[in-house]
Amino acid sequence: MSKKNILIGCGIVVSVLVLWWGLAQAPEVQAPQSEADAEVRAQENREKMAVLYQAPRDAIGGEGKEVTPECLEFWNTLRGFDLTRGQSEFPDIKAATKSERCSSVPPALKNLHDHFNKTCGPKANSAQCLVALYYYRAGLSDFLTRNLKVEQINDPKVLIDKMLANREINPELSVKAAEKLSELEPSLYEARKAQVLGQLFLATKQASGANGDAWGKLDDAIRRAKELGNSDPELLEAELMSELFRSNNTARAQEKAKEAAEDFPNEWRGPYFAAWALFKDGRGQEALDYLVEAQRRDPGNARVRETLEGIKKGDANPFKGGISFSDLSQYY
């Protein structure tokens, strides 16, 4: 064999070895997440959220003339109430925390305080009382940490409370709390979803919808939430709404909604938002066809039914956005 052939042969061997080594070092491509895997992750998230909601909160000191010693004692008793004990019956939280001792409540907490007193008691509906407790406790945690920046808070339970307390009245603060919570609990889907819903509100609150930076933040929040909860229909709805409410984006909104209708054949939201986008574009009959498909997929859906009735009556704006937050009573 000639020297030239020997060199060529050696070169081929070396190339094969290099290729083999490169493939061995390459990261393994992950298979798409199955429905079973997605449900397992969703269940793990629900269980983790339940633990965080049920757990007692550490006592926090109060400042200012509006905070009486009696109310501060009651607030920290309420915040420290442990719901993880697995009792056979829902506890009488109102009696156990002695709420009557707190008679002078700051204006910022009065509605929550009154609702808690009205909803909880010996004959209270446990689910309603639990939700009242969660909201009041969230408001208390937010009020007692009002002089702290979110960056200074490292307790996930307090961050969940601030996230809950502010998601409708101060979505920007709710988003900040959710972002900090994601830093502490990277696998917690609800924290990422809260960022999506908060950013969606911030992006759509301007009538012009021309805030490009807000839409970019929303897109980023959706992308990160999808990493943990791609099967969540409410996340799908947030994404479709974000496309629908952007300026000069009707064609893309139609395209995304039609894709969702095909990708999620049992889900009504895809055809519903396709109908909405088509209706905005003046294509009434096509919109009606998609609405009929949405109703076929979910015959008992009140939102779809009311929209169909509105179109038949000639309403100018028959469609409704309806993203809801998680039912807090599930966390018990």
The pLDDT confidence band at residue 204, using thresholds 50, 70 and 90, is: confident
Rg (CA), the chain: 26
Angstrom CA distances, 113 to 104, 116, 179, stand at 10, 5, 28
Per the structure block, which two tokens stand in for 102? Answer: 């707190």
Q: How far apart are CA 250 and CA 242, in angstroms?
A: 11
Exposure string (b/e) for 258-276, b if CB count within 10 Å is 16 or more? bebbeebeebbbbbbbbbb
End-to-end CA distance of the chain: 80
pLDDT tops 90 at residue 18? no
- CB of 325 closer than 8 Å to CB of 167: yes
pTM passes above 0.85: no
pLDDT digits over 50-94, tens only?
899 999 999 998 877 788 999 999 999 999 988 886 666 677 787
**CATH assignment of 241-323, given 1.25.40.10, 3.30.230.70, 2.30.29.30, 3.30.450.260?**
1.25.40.10
**Rounded to 5°, angle at Cα 153 from 151 and 155:** 140
Q: How far apart are CA 209 and CA 159, in angstroms?
A: 29
Domain spans of the chain?
Answer: 61-144, 148-231, 241-323
HSE, CB side, 13 Å, CA atoms: give it for residue 88. 0
pLDDT tops 70 at residue 14? no
